[in-house]
Amino acid sequence: MSEDRSSNGSRASRWLERLFPGVAGEPRDRSELIALLKQAKEGGLFDTEALAMIEGVLQVSDLQVRDIMIPRAQMVVVERDSELGVVLPVVIDSAHSRFPVIDDDRAEVVGIMLAKDLLQYCGGNAPRFKMRDIVRSAVFVPESKRLNVLLREFRASRNHMAIVIDEYGNAAGLVTIEDVLEQIVGEIEDEYDFDEGAFILKRGTNSYTIKAHTTIEDFNEYFDVEIDDSDFDTIGGLTVSALGHVPTSGETVVVEGFRFKVIRADSRRVRLLHVERIGTGDLEAAVNNAMSTDKAAK
């Protein structure tokens, strides 16, 4: 056993010597290792993106599921006894591929529904739909599980989502394999993404996709408007303030003559928005609807 350790140590030393010629000894802790990696990057051995990924790999072993999970209150869920007409709008609005299935309470997750399993109920087969027929078993993990361990389990089981449970066995949130991978490689792009240097992308007549960190100043310049930026610097901040909470995907709010719909958000911030400029009639309807909702709530 000691010979194996010695062999492994000598291999590591030779690897470090090749990477960092002239550097004596092995790094004694992670900070020294990262300093050496940065030195290698500056020497042109690899680029900034590769360095960020290496640091991400090192960080994953320190993070726990609770650090990146989507909290229970922000999970997009479906109920076990829901009809197809109730489930479909949830699937369409959220654009997710997997959904926790709950009983009477969000804390009680009974399984996972895959959006693709709904395809068999298209057209004339819709009346045959029963949620209980397509619910799949859920994977449950504790909040304290290390991300590197979870990633290994995801790969072995080929699962893409796990329900996070607290010490009492109640659902505390959810985590996906994409959430873990993004800690290593950064945010994973999808069909909504566009050029890194762009902030606003016109999708069609009066239809735009906007990164949430777009400054209000840039937004004003693009749309030739004068939204006040004294309290918030970004469109994401403006949206969160208008809603009164960090929203989930699909939530909509009207601000200063624009309808903002959240396309992507996590537990900490909004990331991407769909924006429409609405006319006077649409604005009045939106205001009246908001007032009616307020009265009903009271």
The CATH number of the structural domain formed by 66-185 is: 3.10.580.10
Residues 291 and 281: beta-carbon distance below 8 Å = no
Give the Cα separation of 213 and 30 in Å (integer): 32
Question: Residue 249: phi, psi to the nearest 5?
Answer: -55, 135
Angle made by CA atoms 248, 69, 166, in degrees to the nearest 5: 115
- Strands of 161-165's sheet in order across: 70-71, 171-176, 161-165, 140-142
Give the Cα separation of 221 and 133 in Å (integer): 52
Lookup: tokens for 268: 């900490």
Give the Cα separation of 188 and 282 in Å (integer): 35
The CATH number of the structural domain formed by 200-297 is: 3.30.465.10
Instruction: Check if 66-185 and 200-297 are the same fold.
Output: no
Lookup: tokens for 204: 């069609």
Give the Cα separation of 144 and 73 in Å (integer): 19
Lookup: tokens for 281: 């009639």
CA nearest neighbour of 100 among 119, 73, 127: 73
- Strands of 252-255's sheet in order across: 200-204, 207-211, 270-277, 258-265, 252-255
- The one-letter amino acid at 86: V
Chain centroid, CA 229 distance in Å: 27
Give the Cα separation of 198 and 24 in Å (integer): 45
Question: CA 135 → CA 80, 99, 102, 117, 263, distances in Å?
Answer: 8, 10, 10, 9, 26
Residues 56 and 185: beta-carbon distance below 8 Å = yes
Lookup: tokens for 170: 């109640």
Give the Cα separation of 189 and 209 in Å (integer): 14
Domains of the chain by residue range: 66-185, 200-297
CA nearest neighbour of 163 among 130, 185, 189, 135: 135
Q: Which regions in the chain score pLDDT beneath 70?
A: 1-27, 30, 46, 48-49, 51, 185-197, 266-268, 280-298
For the chain, where are the E strands, in sequence order? 70-71, 78-79, 98-102, 109-114, 140-142, 161-165, 171-176, 200-204, 207-211, 252-255, 258-265, 270-277
Q: What is the pLDDT of residue 197?
A: 59
Radius of gyration for the alpha carbons in the chain, expressed in angstroms and rounded:
24
Residues 162 and 140: beta-carbon distance below 8 Å = yes
CA nearest neighbour of 233 among 211, 221, 216, 210: 216
Q: What is the pLDDT of residue 296?
A: 44
Question: Residue 128: phi, psi to the nearest 5?
Answer: -80, -5
